[in-house]
Amino acid sequence: MKALIDGFMKFQSEAFPQRSDLFKHLANTQHPGTLFITCSDSRVVPELLTQQEPGELFVIRNAGNIVPSYSPHPGGVTATVEYAVAVLNVTDIVICGHSDCGAMTAVAKCKCMDHLPAVAGWLQHAESAKVINESRTHVSEAAKVSSMVRENVIAQLANIQTHPSVRIALEKGSLNLHGWVYDIETGSIDALDSDNRSFKSLIEHPETCAVRAFSLAAA
């Protein structure tokens, strides 16, 4: 806790004064343009890797960057998606997986999670991605995990389109969906090109990856 308290002290004395006008503006309003859905992994920091200021991203984080399909008994992820789309009117949703993901490693390697029943139940929302990944031949365990991370992003993009608020916004043309995979070691991002269901470097293909949105028809 000492590190956290020391960090807060530094924030109060250095970071906050530099952005005092921004925080004053944000005190009673927010207008984020993007809903960013990613993993809870401590090594993935959405605002850092996208260089966004407070108020610019609306963030959902959970194990495996999961978005359960819409159901009669919606949970916290569903409620947050609905609020972001229907109330905050975000124009883009990014679902971002990452390298060395513990959740996707467990799924890809079929690790026993009897001692983690809540985690096991949660990761069932990645079952469709697992089935697809298992149907393919992989050159190594590492390649299998990497493929699982990507298939899971695609699966969650399909899941999120079962949410009424998202489908309505997509039909109106006011929302775009994007799939990213962040590499922790290199700091690079690969983005999904829905035309051919492949991931391309965001650095090498910024125009294509930034504009072209994923759609259920491409799944």
Q: Which residues are catalytic?
A: 39, 41, 43, 98, 101
Sheet containing strand 92-98, edge to edge, reads 57-62, 34-39, 92-98, 176-182, 189-193, 198-201
Instruction: Give CA separation, 192 vs 28, 31, 89, 201, in Å.
Output: 35, 26, 23, 9
3-state secondary structure 25-41: HHCCCCCCCEEEEEECC
88 φ/ψ angles, rounded to the nearest 5 degrees:
-85, -15
